[in-house]
Structure 1
Amino acid sequence: MNINLLKEKYLELIKMEDTDDGIFDFGDLLLESDDEKVLEFHYEIIKSTKDKYLLTDLLTFFEKRKDKNKVGNFLVKKYDKEQDVSLKSEIIKILGEIKYSGTEELAVKEIKSPQYELRFASIIVLGWVGTAKDLGYLNERMLNDPEGTLRQCGAAAMRQIWFRHKSTKLKITQYINSAIRSETNPDALTGMIITIQDLYRKKLGIKESHYGDLSGDVTKAKEKCIKELDKILS
């Protein structure tokens, strides 16, 4: 790969009025090689771009690289030195998407970070790659995270694990049973209720669209969910 040609094509791309017009041709060129110099260049342009749409495309290209192990090793090294919290959170998500072997360990390490973005990335990635042994970490966040949206994510991540590991059903049910009774945040409650609805194929009052939008009377749904949990665990 001629790195100078790659740099030249990138300059042409960012001069376009709309980078969508050239992003796929540039992406094909960028992904021709997983050479260390190309990976470095790819990372540098991610750090330098101010265009959020271009940034999204450049991050996605890392997920599409062929040598997943090499890419994972490269990104972990970058993660250890990176100061930008937003980029660190994106790295965690990329590692989760490519199923890198060290992703689970990194997510567990950062799941109680003081930074919202790192906790968010860690929770959702454990949903993607975690197993039964990771339910405890998600439960701790579902109970204790100061942000209702992340308590919601904790329940949703448990559901993701259940999709792959059906034997986790009872443990997830027990965790949510303990958490839902004292929970008052609407976001957190919808995550818990939706999870129980999926696990037991019950309609408890919360609807989820194909796009992930949630609707319904959360207060009434919580009451129905608790009654259902009482039946299930009696």
Structure 2
Amino acid sequence: MVDFLMMFSLCICVLSGVTLLIVHIWSKKKQKKEEAEDKTGGTVFHSGTRNVPKPIKERAGILQVLAPDGANTMPVSYMTLDDNGIELYYAGLYIDKLPVEGRFAHSFAGIFNMDYVESSVIIDPLLEESQKKINRQIRSLDMERSGERDRNRLRVLDGKIADAERWARQIDSDQSTLFETYFLFLIRAESLKLLTERISEFISRGKGIGFRSCYAMHKEAFLTSLHLMRYLKQKYLSGKI
């Protein structure tokens, strides 16, 4: 019985030694393979051949394919993109003034249905500022009414105050809220002359809508119009057309 246990222990020791030797040899081979890959920049196979990676241009991903070759944002009234050797001109416009009696479908149909215009409508809910804004509006109307003597003007102001107070009650009860809405339009053309002509045509279709140029901010207008679920907000924009 003792001899059997000794033989069994000896076999276990021999197997353990062989296993450690195999692991050591495998680790050495793996280390040499990694060192060879670091030197050559490719994968070394057991046959000795190497798989060297292709240059980036030959294995470009979808983002590299879609990205323009260059951009020029230095002009203040437009920007240009180099699309595989084709120079494209872009100009951003936003709405500064709406017609008093404008209707959305009627007033905006002409400018939203243009092939070379990318239209963006940004709606920003004012969850916490709604009550403050409506209160300021009511105070402003009330101050104007207190110094008014014209009966016709007083009637108009009374109607505006009644409407503002109705909105204030709905906001107080969380039945409604106010929104800030931005309209951004990105116009595209293959030449500067054509871009100017398209801007003129676009403005003429506005039916009383006031437009302003994204003066020196056309890069931000371009990025905002890409519909990336975010927009670049600039507080002060100048450069009226």
Q: Bin the TM-score by the shorter chain.
A: under 0.3
- Relative to its length, the structure with more helix (as a share) is 1
* Larger relative contact order (Cα-Cα within 8 Å, sequence gap ≥ 6): 2
Q: Which has the larger radius of gyration?
A: 2
Relative to the length of structure 1, the TM-score reads 0.24
Relative to the length of structure 2, the TM-score reads 0.23
